[in-house]
Amino acid sequence: MRQWRVGTFSMGLLLFCTGIGLLYAQFQPLPVVESIFKWWPVIFIILGIEVLLQSYLKKGEESKIKYDIFSILIIFFIVMTGMGLQLAGKVGLSSYIQENISAEQYNIEMDREIALDKDIQKVVIEVDSGPRLKVRTGSEDSIQCNTQAEIRAQSEAEARQVMQEKNKLNSRRNGNTLYLSLGLSAGGDCYNVAYSLILPERLAVELEHHDASLQITAGQIAGDWLIRGDGYLDITLAPQSNLELYAFTSQALPLKGNLNWTAPDGQPLKVQPQQVDGELTEIDEASVQAQAKLGTGRCKMTIIHQGNEIRVNQLP
């Protein structure tokens, strides 16, 4: 007795169409995805036609339709696939998949200049966690800010629009102090966010960088600096800098670079965690202090750090 497993023809046709669709998707990915989410109910129509045709054509005793375990599994697979596609369309997953398939990665830059009045003497900068930050000093009397990010979008125009909306560069003035907040964090459709600032040398600077990596290239600084954070810190100073540097850390962190750091009493810096009953004890916040003097030490640079590495170099 010849038997026919229900769903065999439907599964074969489904696999054939899927193979053709995947091959075509190598050249036109978006139309294929749209067609899958639009025409998936055809799977049930083909399955129903198969069952009806086999019931009509195989009426004899020698050939009959048999619902064995293999047929049931095939039908269950097709039904669950259809329900999954329907659910994906309802929750917006299909649109999300289509957008991500057609999206591209764009490297977007945005520049902004903040003019400073002559009576501005200090700038306070706060950076959200995540982005990289580079700071330079210059002779111009304005703040130059460059923002870079990799953004996934349908077009470059859309990527620039995302940058415009998310690049929250806020500034406000209070007396003779300018407050600057940088707020474009990585995540979502933005990656590898980086800021680059050029600050006037005459300004005093207070910089809070949290866990963002910070790289500073300073010229002839003419104001006091205060740097707080726990991200990687790399400072390069001009050859004839007149600075008194102080470093406070909550841990016995290595101070790397070519400066001659000393303890407050002028002795070479040797910081080791204390041992109590054979166990290392934690060091209180801001308990590790080091200092270094460049030139006459006319201005002060204070570093309050809570983790990661501190590297300070002076150019020859």
Angle at 163 (CA atoms; ends 160, 164), nearest 5 degrees:
85
Say how many domains are in the chain.
2
Question: pTM, whole model, 2 decimals?
Answer: 0.66
Strands (E), the chain: 2-5, 63-66, 104-115, 122-127, 132-138, 142-153, 169-174, 177-182, 190-200, 204-208, 214-217, 225-229, 233-237, 243-249, 255-257, 275-276, 279-280, 288-294, 299-305, 310-314
131 and 46 share one domain = no
Rounded CA-CA distance 59/67 in Å is 15
Q: How confident is the model at residue 230 (pLDDT cuts 50, 70, 90)?
A: confident
From 73, 102, 131, the end of a domain falls on: 102
The mean pLDDT of the chain is 76
Is residue 143's pLDDT more than 60? yes
From 77, 102, 127, the end of a domain falls on: 102
Which residues constitute the domain of residue 95? 2-102
23 and 48 share one domain = yes
pLDDT reported for residue 119? 92
Q: In this structure, which long-range contacts are made by residues 82-86, counting pairs with CB atoms below 8 Å and at least 24 apart in sequence?
A: 82/40, 82/41, 82/43, 82/44, 85/36, 85/37, 85/40, 86/40
